[in-house]
């Protein structure tokens, strides 16, 4: 049996984010960082500079005038938004790698689209339903299933077996992961988030996003992810074929009590996801 620690260790070269993302996260954590420091860090990565300017001028952000320097781009996007973009860029290359699984069992492309949709929906829920800043909700959404990529790369045979058994039986995917590998992708992703020194709420959201047995607050990172996964699954953005999200009883009750607000959000969700995916695809162009 494998543990989360073993899987992350086997993940090897991909277990740390690029140095720019790590440094940006540390600067944000300090809370008193001058804008000039962010600019100096960003300028160390010419590819990041190119992509940052391309994305900030895309229809997704829609500036009234073209932004052509780093300082204006950082001010326009915001520091946490910038961090999220750097993390997204790093992850996209990981998700693009080929898997030994066939597409009907598991597809990294489909998982990438799922995580993208969940991140956008999580940010919308946090901002529009709960009136909170949505940057960390977005970060948790884009990373919540990163553990699956680790399993696919570090233990592909066992991961395939878990995926195949999930397709043919009613038990949850996390149950098969624990049964076959010893830990599930929530534990693996949580360990990575801890090693990357990401915010505590993000770490806990990744760890508990499939937890339906304990009390989960709708406003918590895990609660927001559960709500987002439920909503995007209605649009066929599942992590795995046929994988239906499970909600804790607290989340179900909250959803029922606030159904009109979620219906209004659902009306805008498809367009927001489409715009977000278009922006992320731009990030991969050189």
Higher pLDDT, 223 or 33: 223
| Alpha carbons 74 and 194: distance in angstroms, whole number | 26
pLDDT of 284 strictly over 60: no
Q: What mean pLDDT is predicted for residues 98-107?
A: 69
pLDDT digits 0-9 by tens, 9-48: 777 654 455 667 777 777 777 777 777 787 888 888 777 7
The structural domains of the chain, with segments of one domain joined by +, span 4-283
Using DSSP's 3-state secondary structure scheme, residue 182 falls into coil
| Alpha carbons 15 and 182: distance in angstroms, whole number | 20
- Note the pLDDT of residue 246: 87
Of the spans 59-63, 97-101, 217-221, 275-279, which averages the highest pLDDT? 217-221
Instruction: State the average pLDDT for the chain.
Output: 85
Q: What mean pLDDT is predicted for residues 261-268?
A: 97
Confidence band for 62, pLDDT divided at 50, 70 and 90: confident
- Note the pLDDT of residue 101: 60
Q: What mean pLDDT is predicted for residues 213-236?
A: 95
The residues near 193 (Cβ < 8 Å, ≥ 6 apart) are: 143, 202, 203, 206
| Alpha carbons 217 and 251: distance in angstroms, whole number | 7
Which two three-digit tokens encode residue 160? 């395939």
| Whole-Å CA distances, 232 to 125, 141, 167, 269 | 12, 12, 20, 8
CATH number for the region 4-283 comes to 1.10.3210.10
Q: How many CB atoms lie within 10 A of CB 119?
A: 28
- Note the pLDDT of residue 17: 59
Q: What mean pLDDT is predicted for residues 58-63?
A: 78
């Amino acid at each position: 049996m494998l543990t989360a620690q073993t899987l992350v260790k086997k993940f090897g070269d991909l277990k740390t984010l690029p140095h720019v993302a790590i440094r940006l996260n540390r600067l944000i954590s300090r809370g008193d960082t001058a804008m000039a420091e962010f600019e100096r860090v960003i300028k160390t990565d010419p590819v990041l500079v190119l992509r940052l300017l391309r994305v900030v001028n895309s229809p997704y952000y829609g500036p009234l005038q073209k932004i052509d320097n780093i300082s204006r781009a950082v001010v326009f996007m915001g520091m946490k938004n910038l961090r999220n973009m750097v993390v997204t860029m790093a992850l996209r290359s990981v998700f693009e790698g080929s898997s030994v699984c066939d597409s009907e069992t598991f597809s990294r492309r489909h998982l990438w689209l799922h995580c993208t949709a969940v991140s956008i929906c999580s940010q919308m829920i946090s901002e529009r339903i709960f009136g909170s800043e949505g940057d960390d909700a977005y970060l948790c959404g884009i990373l919540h299933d990163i553990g699956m990529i680790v399993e696919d790369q570090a233990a592909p045979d066992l991961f395939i077996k878990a995926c195949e058994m999930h397709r043919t039986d009613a038990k949850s995917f996390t149950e098969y992961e624990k049964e076959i590998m010893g830990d599930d992708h929530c534990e693996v992703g949580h360990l990575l988030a801890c090693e990357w020194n990401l915010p505590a709420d993000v770490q806990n959201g990744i760890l508990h996003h499939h937890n339906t047995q304990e009390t989960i607050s709708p406003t918590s990172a895990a609660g927001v992810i559960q709500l987002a996964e439920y909503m995007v699954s209605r649009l066929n953005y599942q992590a795995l074929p046929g994988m239906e999200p499970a909600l804790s009883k607290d989340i179900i009750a909250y959803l029922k009590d606030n159904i009109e607000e979620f219906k209004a959000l659902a009306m805008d969700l498809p367009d927001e996801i489409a715009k977000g995916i278009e922006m992320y695809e731009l990030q991969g162009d050189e």
